[in-house]
Structure 1
Amino acid sequence: MYADLVCKGGGVKGIALVGALSFFEEEGYIWKRVAGTSVGAIVASLVAVGYSAKEIKNIMFNLDFNQFADKDTLQSIPLVGFVTSLLISKGIHSGDYVENFLTEKFERKGKKYFRDIYSDGKSRLKVIAADVTRHKLITLPDDLVEYNINPLDFEIAKAVRMSLSIPFFYEPMVLNMGKTPCYIVDGGLLSNFPIWIFDVKDNPRWPTFGFNLYNNFEKTSSNPNGFIPYLIDVIETSLSTSEEIYFKDCDAVRIVNIPTLGINTTDFNISKDQMRYLYTSGYMSAKAFLENWDFNTYLKNYRV
């Protein structure tokens, strides 16, 4: 059974997406097109280049998430390195590790550029990012032409890195529009869950499913007076907007809602037990969803 997939962003909570992915694949679903924001873009990109859910689970469970918090050279400056990174680089961490990590994974499947995952003249993968200079959402690789870049020649890993460049936490990526540098950051600022991205006016040939991460536990800052906790709280709040409250019924019925136990986006010290919980949460949520899903009923009620 063919289907399209949209994955919500959520940092380390993205392990739950893999659990849902696993159950869908066990049920025989084959992904035609995939999209995502932030960690959702990571999962979607791994699917797009040819990784199975089982392979992605192995990658995620053996990943040291602390490596994602890589330091740039400015942080080596004694005492003032942290502030210098924020003021000059506009981010605490460089993001180089994420890009290099993904490039290596993609190349193992013989993929590196968007041209490698094009089918019928279109990219199998769409990634959401935010151009804060132009105050607009961008879809990659499609919108690269606005920056005079050939989408076919753009590296997949760079696009995914843009989508997960959490403001202030990671240095923004830069795309030039003429002589104007445009700063590109985490797409979650504008759309953390682009369930609409593959929609068509006529009846779709196959369904589009959305994997939604939601916090089923209210969690407050343990140190509201500290600068770092404050910065993390700002990041969490900006990326935790519940877009689903604006969804129509026709969107809600195709979304798998996955609880995430109050785990924060940037909890890079996540334990193996927490990883297993997230994976199981995604798996069981997908199972419960598919028990009540019928594509023909969806078409009859919402598309005909």
Structure 2
Amino acid sequence: MFYTIKNLVFEGGGVLGIAYLGVLDFLTQCGILQKVNRVAGASAGAITACITSFNLPFEELKEIADSLDYRKIPEKEEHPDLKNIPGPVKKEWEKVFGDLDCTYRLITDYGWYSSQYFYHWIQEQISYQFDKSKKLPPYTFADFKDPGIHKGNRPFLDLYVIGTDISSRMSKVFSYETTPNMEVAEAVRISMSIPLFFEAIKVTDYEINRHPLLNIFSDGGVTRNYPINLFDAINIQEQFLYGVNAQTLGARFRSEIKYTEITSFLGFITNLVLTFLQVQQDMYRNSPADAARSIEIYTNDISAVDFNISPNDQTYRFLYQQGYAAANNYFKSRNYLI
């Protein structure tokens, strides 16, 4: 028996998130996406959840997704603290330390790469959805709930973004219910900030931290990479089956595990993070209840942090097609009548 899908949940997975476009394409063609009320995700899944929450036709959603230049995401931006160091001095330092800006960022901001490019991109995509004559950016979760300030008064889907509060050692859900006055772009940036790979995000907002001190936030995937159980709370008035919300559908990845030679500190960081994600994948795959409501996308041996990708290249097309095929197979195997 199939219940109407009301909630969509996306696992984190870096560039593998391109496959979600194929999933959304299929769900749109079947009329399933149009009935969804809530979207949630961690890391790359949070990016997909955010642009899906705009409640746009699929063609427009895909156009937004394809405007993201993956090659620019791991950004070696000049660190503000080092702007006044003369070029020749910097070059001498880099003979010893390697990339000085990245090394300094790792020490002071706890991540090798800057995420400024992505932050500005997601801010821009969000800004396009609002009528600026009614409210100027930045836009918060409360603004996402107010169709009166959206272009065409279009209602958005309820959005839930997962982050990791390093200071408090816990997972954090950013949403209209929990953090109404938080900038959505900042929440998504936090969620995609792979620890040590991207700079951590420092937050002093009392509403978010629940105290006046500074908190350090990082990738939501560290603690909750696949928040499939987010809508299993008993206060949600939906159909439950065997203790879980039968109206929640998730999408996650299944990748080939292969040996990777580690020859650099950055390579160590990358493999450490991918290990965290693999452990969580195994945990959810071993849960029959979660497996039954999850579209599993086979991604071969493509690395989640291989940002050398662009729309319609071979890797992009493969991931897109895998997402579409996985969604199709999921519903076919359950005799869902479309």
Higher strand residue share: 1
Residue 225, structure 1, aligned to residue 263, structure 2: yes
SS in 2 for 1:242: helix
Please state how far the C-alpha of 1:139 moved relative to its aligned partner: 0.4
Question: What CA distance in whole angstroms lies between the structure 2 residues aligned with 1:185 and 1:114?
Answer: 19
| Partner of residue 90, structure 1 | 110
Task: Name structure 2 gaps, 5 residues minimum.
Answer: 84-89, 95-99, 132-138, 148-155, 241-245
SS in 2 for 1:28: coil
SS in 1 for 2:306: coil
Q: How many residues align?
A: 287
Q: TM-score, normalised by structure 2?
A: 0.77
| Partner of residue 56, structure 1 | 61
| Partner of residue 3, structure 1 | 6
Please state how far the C-alpha of 1:244 moved relative to its aligned partner: 5.0
| Partner of residue 114, structure 1 | 141
| Partner of residue 327, structure 2 | 286
Question: Quick check: 1:15–1:57 contact (8 Å CA) kept in 2?
Answer: no
Is the alpha carbon distance of 1:193 and 1:183 closer, same or farther for their aligned partners in structure 2, counting shifts above 3 Å?
Answer: same
SS in 1 for 2:180: helix
| Partner of residue 301, structure 1 | none
Please state how far the C-alpha of 1:285 moved relative to its aligned partner: 0.5
The farther-off stretch of 237-246 and 20-29 is 237-246
Tell me which amino acid in the other structure corresponds to 1:139.
V
Please state how far the C-alpha of 1:2 moved relative to its aligned partner: 4.8
Question: Quick check: 2:64–2:125 contact (8 Å CA) kept in 1?
Answer: no
Question: Quick check: 1:123–1:141 contact (8 Å CA) kept in 2?
Answer: no
Residue 139, structure 1, aligned to residue 173, structure 2: yes
Q: 2:124 aligns with which of 95, 104, 114?
A: 104
| Partner of residue 254, structure 1 | 293
| Partner of residue 283, structure 2 | 245
SS in 2 for 1:152: coil
| Partner of residue 234, structure 1 | 272
| Partner of residue 314, structure 2 | 273
SS in 1 for 2:37: strand
Question: Quick check: 1:114–1:123 contact (8 Å CA) kept in 2?
Answer: no
Q: TM-score, normalised by structure 1?
A: 0.85
Please state how far the C-alpha of 1:141 moved relative to its aligned partner: 2.6
Please state how far the C-alpha of 1:245 moved relative to its aligned partner: 3.2
Tell me which amino acid in the other structure corresponds to 1:186.
D
Tell me which amino acid in the other structure corresponds to 2:15.
V
Please state how far the C-alpha of 1:129 moved relative to its aligned partner: 0.7
Residue 125, structure 1, aligned to residue 156, structure 2: no
SS in 1 for 2:9: strand
Question: What CA distance in whole angstroms lies between the structure 1 residues aligned with 2:199 and 2:266?
Answer: 16
Task: Name structure 1 gaps, 5 residues minimum.
Answer: 145-150, 296-304
Q: 1:36 aligns with which of 34, 41, 50?
A: 41
Please state how far the C-alpha of 1:203 moved relative to its aligned partner: 4.8
Please state how far the C-alpha of 1:123 moved relative to its aligned partner: 7.5
Question: What CA distance in whole angstroms lies between the structure 2 residues aligned with 1:60 and 1:91?
Answer: 25
Q: Give the ranges of 4+ consecutive aligned residues of structure 1 lying more than 4 Å apart after TM superposition.
A: none
| Partner of residue 135, structure 2 | none
Please state how far the C-alpha of 1:62 moved relative to its aligned partner: 4.3
The farther-off stretch of 71-80 and 109-118 is 71-80
Please state how far the C-alpha of 1:143 moved relative to its aligned partner: 7.9
Tell me which amino acid in the other structure corresponds to 1:96.
Q
| Partner of residue 12, structure 1 | 15
Tell me which amino acid in the other structure corresponds to 2:247.
P
| Partner of residue 150, structure 2 | none
Please state how far the C-alpha of 1:291 moved relative to its aligned partner: 1.4
Aligned-pair Cα RMSD in Å: 2.6
Please state how far the C-alpha of 1:265 moved relative to its aligned partner: 1.4
Tell me which amino acid in the other structure corresponds to 1:183.
I
Question: What CA distance in whole angstroms lies between the structure 2 residues aligned with 1:52 and 1:45?
Answer: 14
Question: Quick check: 1:43–1:56 contact (8 Å CA) kept in 2?
Answer: no
Q: 1:213 aligns with which of 253, 257, 261?
A: 253
Please state how far the C-alpha of 1:65 moved relative to its aligned partner: 0.4
Question: What CA distance in whole angstroms lies between the structure 2 residues aligned with 1:160 and 1:193?
Answer: 15
Question: What CA distance in whole angstroms lies between the structure 1 residues aligned with 2:120 and 2:254?
Answer: 29
